[in-house]
Amino acid sequence: MPSLSRLSCAFLPHGRSAATALAALVTTLVAATRAAAQPVGEVDTVFKLLGPDHRIVVEAYDDPGVRGVTCYVSRAKTGGIKGGLGLAEDKAEASIACRQTGPIAFPKPIAAQEEMYSERISLVFKKLRVVRMVDAPLNTLVYLTYSDRVIEGSPQNSVTAVPVDRNTPIPLKP
């Protein structure tokens, strides 16, 4: 049986081997899971006879570009029949708190402003976004959460900051 590194597929560009394609797929999947939400907890806010209750959920997001920083986002999730089927539009309100959860390290330079995470919160139009910004003069990471619509943005937002020790300068992409 030929080894995986010797296999090549006609549909792969430039004669890439199956092993190279597999490695790229695994890398993509690992990167995608790093920015995924990790549930922390939830509380029911309104009882619904049919379908799940309305609730507030708290989720944790590890910053994929900065080791040692975790952001906690709380937001409302609509229940009922529509919520249970994924058809309900969740409220645009969210709160964020980011904290140092380990030694802060930068595997590579980061952008001065970068979307860290986004999640659909309505069937088509609205997304919850978490954006990381760098306040270079104060050596601080600033995190903003907000929701947007295709047609109009939402002014409701929340911001938090994580100061980084001056002995660890934040490396920025050029």
pLDDT tens-place string over residues 61-114: 999 999 999 999 998 876 666 655 665 666 667 889 999 999 999 999 999 999
Identify the pLDDT of residue 81: 65
The torsion defined by the Cα of 147, 152, 155 and 157, in degrees rounded to 10, comes to: 10
What's at 12, amino acid-wise? L
For residue 153, give the 3-state DSSP assignment: strand
Highest mean pLDDT among 47-61, 78-92, 113-127, 155-169: 155-169
CA distance 60 to 2: 44
Across 24-47, average pLDDT: 62
- With a cut of 90, say whether residue 58 has pLDDT above it: yes
Identify the pLDDT of residue 77: 75
CA distance 162 to 100: 7
Q: Can you give the residue ranges of every domain in the chain? A: 1-34, 36-163
More confident residue, 151 or 120: 120
- With a cut of 60, say whether residue 4 has pLDDT above it: no
